[in-house]
Amino acid sequence: MPSKSAAYFERAAKVLPGGVNSPVRACKSVGCEPVFIERAAGSRMWTVDGLELIDYVMSWGPMLLGHADGSVREAAVAALDKGASFGAPCPDEVELAELIRSIMPSMEMVRMVSSGTEATMSAVRLARGYTKRDKVLKFEGCYHGHSDGFLVSAGSGVATLCIPGTPGVPDAIAAQTLLAPYNDLAAVEARFAAHGADIACVIIEPVAGNVGLIPPARGFLEGLREICTKYGALLIFDEVITGFRVALGGAQARFGVTPDLTTLGKIIGGGFPVGCYGGRREIMEHIAPCGPVYQAGTLSGNPVAMAAGLATLKGLMQSDYAALEARTKVFAEDMAELLRAKGQPVTLNHLASMFTLFFTDTPVTDYEAAKTANSATYGEFYRQMRGFGVNLAPSGFECAFTSFAHTDADLRKTLDAVRQVRL
């Protein structure tokens, strides 16, 4: 008799493309079918078949307080009792914007949207409207959502599924996207030398997280800041993953580099569908209704998401980031050593409460190096770990995330699972 997950997947395949609503969830690259989740709490998820999983995906990063955190849930339920959507201003959107600005001072003004993709798309439109230039420089393997221009050499599901080129994206749009290898300042200098007068912005994950975790090399972010200032281009930090995770103030606080614009994702809504972008007042006032760059959304500033976001950020302000980073570092190093003891080449990249185990002995500092990892070995590792009750990302081109809800017992049980894996 098929499992409930298998039955749901069979039904889903008849009404959803590939049986999923986001490509990597199909688990094609790891050689199995997805499990369907019934509920989650803290560090755990439960499938429709009753399988309990220690979760290291955490909704792809934002559940830093853990799933169904009590204070976040209470705030969301209280807001829902007052109405799910107003399509009008609400007090909590003002309070949340003020709180974000206090934590990330570079975001002098903030515009709420409904997703990280919408945030990055809107930030680039704003950069183009502000500078009156068209070209955008992004980095190979970095993923900024599925807006047309971002799909050129994108990471995440595009890399995982080995999708070639940019099907569905007109050549004229793709031509406005310039590429450089991550951590390669010389390549950035060369692109600006050739196109500097036409580049509106550089957009970057300040810590690459969609080809696995790749930290910035020493001086790399500082160098981007200098180049953008020199040529009059805007520097956009896509902190959808790193914001409030690598430090309370994001990567810009951790590395001491100030971008012109910042994009944030669903962590500012406690996991609800939300995002925002913000930056210097003089730039943000080009957004309608202050200025001519148009962007709108009925669910922007949704009251339930705003309330959950306030509770999340207030909870994070009381959390011990240093302790979580230290625990995660030891845990990730122990995982890597256990795999090396099985004869596997492993490169570990770790930062804060994020890490990636690359099945390669090549140091991973950019997308090309990440592609040397053995995807077949990762798929076998993923399948066995899931069988032992551990949920990892169904792609070797993603990060693993711990949270403040993960206990020492969770980490020990996970390491016990690694010991049982046969590769």
Which of the residues are catalytic? Answer: 143, 238, 266
Record the tokens describing residue 82, joined without a space. 């007052």
Contact 238, 344 (CB under 8 A): no
Geometric angle at alpha carbon 114, from 92 and 264, rounded to 5° = 80
Return the amino acid letter for 91: P
Token pair 């009404």 in the structure block, residue: 15
Q: H helices within 287-407, ranges in order?
A: 303-317, 321-341, 367-370, 375-387
The residues with which 391 forms a beta bridge, in sequence order, are: 55
Phi-psi region of 150 (alpha: psi -120 to 50; beta: other; left: phi over 0): alpha
Phi-psi region of 330 (alpha: psi -120 to 50; beta: other; left: phi over 0): alpha
CB burial of 375-386 (b: ≥16 within 10 Å; e: otherwise) equals bebbbbbbbbbb
CA distance 21 to 8: 13
CA distance 64 to 45: 15
CA distance 286 to 36: 43
Contact 257, 236 (CB under 8 A): no
CA distance 84 to 269: 14
Residue 290, Cβ density class (10 Å: 0-12 exposed, 13-18 middle, ≥19 buried): exposed
10 SS3 class: helix
Q: Do β-strands 44-47 and 37-41 pair in parallel, antiparallel, or remain unpaired?
A: antiparallel
Record the tokens describing residue 270, joined without a space. 């406690």
409 SS3 class: helix
Record the tokens describing residue 266, joined without a space. 């669903």
111 SS3 class: strand
